[in-house]
Amino acid sequence: MDLLISLDGPGEKTVRVYRALREAIVDGRLPEGHRLPASRVLAADLGVARNSVTSAYERLVAEGYLVARTGAGTFVAPVRDKPAPRRALADPLRPRPGWTFEPLPTGAGAPAPRYDFRTGIPDARLFPFDTWRRLVAAELRLGANEPGAYAPPAGHPALRAAIARYLGYSRSLRVRAEDVLVTNGTQHALDLIGRVLLRPGDVVAVEEPGYPPARRLFASLGAHVVGVPVDADGLVVDALPRGVRLVYTTPSHQFPLGPAMSLPRRHALLDWARRRQAAVVEDDYDSEFRFSARPLEPLHGLDTAGRVLYVGTFSKTMLPSLRTGFVLAPAEVRTALVAARQLGDGYGQIAVQAALARFIDEGQLARHVRRALKAYAGRHARIVAALSRLPGLQVVPSAAGLHVTALAPRSAAVVAAAAERGVAVEDLAGYGSASTGFVFGFGAVDPALLDEGLERFGEAWREAAAVASPGPPRAARRDA
C-alpha cells in the first residue's frame, strides 16, 4: 500500500519529507514496528529525489524515530514524544436531540468465563464446520452468483425458497419464496420494520421483562416505548395501552421468563391488533429447541387480517457470526421493506446465503438441530434439577430455548459472588423485570463443567442466604 504524507509547508523537500514522516510517527499514523517503504519506492510515490528521502530517513534514525536493520529495512522505533492533545472544537458535531444510546458491552475479545451461563450463545462445538466449509467453498468456486453484479436486496432466491420450505415443514406456515425477506439477523429485521412502519412519537409496546435490544432499537427510531406485563399465558393483552402502533412479542418462548403464549392469548392479541389496526412483530428466536410438547401454531399462521410480521434467525440454530435471519411480512408492506433493505446496506453475503440454502435443502440444518436439541435437552434438565434443590429459588417452567430462569428474593449480590467463583450468570433485573432472580444460558457452557459451575453458584447462593434471612420470592406478575 502506498504511503501518503503531505509535503505542504515551507523548506526544502528533504526538510518537508522529514517533518511529514516525524509527524506521522508521533501521532500514531505510522505505528511502532511498521516497515517503511524503500527510499527508492517512497521517492517515486512522493515525486521527489531519492536523496531527499534517504536524508530524511538518516536524520530520523539519528534522532531515534526510526531503526535501520541491515538487510531487513527501516522500521518505526518506539515513540518518545506524546501526540499533541487535540484542541476542543467550539461547536462540535453532536447526535440529534433525544439520542442517548451507547453501544452495549458484548464481551467480544475478552476471555470467556470458566463457567459460562451467559444467554444467547449457542454451542459452536456442536456445529458441523467441515460441512459448512465445503458448502461455502463450493459457492465461491462457482463464482458466487455473478460476483460482479449487485444481488437482489430481498436475498438469494434459492435461500428464500429454502426458508419457505423449511418454515412449511417445521412451523406449518404457508409461505412462498416471495414472502421471505433475508436480513442480517433479528436486529436488522426489527430496524427495517421500524423504519417502514413507525413515525417519531408512535407508541410501541414491548414485553416487560423483555429483550432490551428491541426496546432500545425502537426508541432510537423516535418511538415511545412502553412495557407491558407478562404472565403464565404470555403478554397481557388487556394491559396494552391505547394508541399502540406496534407490539413486539416472543410468543413461542417468552424472553427471558420462558413460558409460551397460550392459544387463547394468541387469539386475543390477534383480535386486538385487528380492531386497533396495529402491527404485531413475532420474534421466534429459538423455538427449534423444544424439549417437551409440540409448539403452538405461530401467530403468523393464525393471522387472517395481515397484522403479523414474523421474524426468525439462524444465530441460535447455527452461529451468531452467520449474521443471517429473515422476516415474513404482509404483502402491503413487503415492497417497502425490500426498498429499506436496499437503501440501508444493499444486500447480504450472497455466497453465504447460497451455501445456507444448500445446507437447508440437503437436510444438514435439520440434522444439526436434532443433534443440538439432544445436547441442550440434557443441559436443561441438569440445570433445572440443580436449581430446584436450592432452597428459596423458584424455577420458571419452560420447555424450549437455550436458557432457564429462576426467581429469588435476592440476585445482585449473588451474581457478584458467583462471578468471583468464575461463574457468569445474568441478573433478571437487567431485563426490566420487577422480579429478582437469575437467567442461566446453557449454550456456551462446557458440558464437562456444567455441574461444577452449578455447584459453585450454589455456594454463592448459600453464602448470600447466610448473610440475609431468605424470604419468599417477589412475584413476577401474577404467574411466577
Query: pLDDT for 127-167, tens place per residue?
Result: 999 999 999 999 988 765 566 677 899 999 999 999 999 99
With beta carbons less than 8 A apart as the criterion, state whether 14 and 55 touch: yes
Closest by Cα among 379, 391, 398, 359 to 441: 379
**Mean pLDDT, rounded, of the chain:** 90
Q: pLDDT at residue 106 above 70?
A: yes
- Rounded to 5°, angle at Cα 272 from 268 and 278: 135
pLDDT digits (tens, 9 = 90+) for 301-319: 999 999 999 999 999 999 9
pLDDT digits (tens, 9 = 90+) for 214-250: 999 999 999 999 999 999 999 999 999 999 999 999 9
- 432-461 mean pLDDT: 94
Q: pLDDT at residue 414 above 60?
A: yes
With beta carbons less than 8 A apart as the criterion, state whether 234 and 261 touch: yes
What pLDDT is attached to residue 479?
44
Q: pLDDT at residue 82 above 90?
A: no
Distance CA 209, CA 281 (A): 16
Distance CA 428, CA 436 (A): 6
316 forms beta bridges with none
- 394-423 mean pLDDT: 93
What pLDDT is attached to residue 28?
85
What pLDDT is attached to residue 97?
85
What pLDDT is attached to residue 147?
61
Q: What CATH number does the domain located at 124-365 have? A: 3.40.640.10
What pLDDT is attached to residue 100?
86
The lowest-confidence range among 243-247, 408-412, 476-480 is 476-480
Closest by Cα among 322, 326, 300, 298 to 313: 326
Q: Distance of CA 127 to CAs 119, 139, 374, 376, Å?
A: 18, 19, 13, 13
Residues 6+ apart with CB under 8 A from 32: 76, 77, 78, 79
Helices (H) and strands (E) in the chain, counts: 14, 16
The lowest-confidence range among 35-49, 88-102, 113-127, 351-365 is 88-102
Distance CA 53, CA 17 (A): 7
Could you tell me the three cell numbers for 116? 459460562
- What are the structural domain ranges in the chain? 13-76, 124-365, 367-467
pTM of the model: 0.85
What pLDDT is attached to residue 470?
47
Closest by Cα among 182, 190, 235 to 214: 190
Number of residues assigned to the chain: 480
* Architecture of the 13-76 domain: Orthogonal Bundle (1.10)
Q: For residue 458, what is the enclosing H or E element?
A: helix 447-467
What pLDDT is attached to residue 415?
95
The identity of residue 255, as a single letter, is: F
Instruction: Pick the more confident residue, 78 or 295.
Output: 78
Instruction: Pick the more confident residue, 102 or 403.
Output: 403
Q: pLDDT at residue 474 above 60?
A: no
Q: pLDDT at residue 109 above 80?
A: no
What pLDDT is attached to residue 34?
92
**β-strands 325-328, 180-183: how paired?**
antiparallel
Closest by Cα among 17, 55, 345 to 192: 345
Q: pLDDT at residue 377 above 90?
A: yes
**β-strands 308-313, 279-284: how paired?**
parallel
pLDDT digits (tens, 9 = 90+) for 378-387: 999 999 999 9
Q: What CATH number does the domain located at 367-467 have? A: 3.90.1150.10
Could you tell me the three cell numbers for 404? 432457564
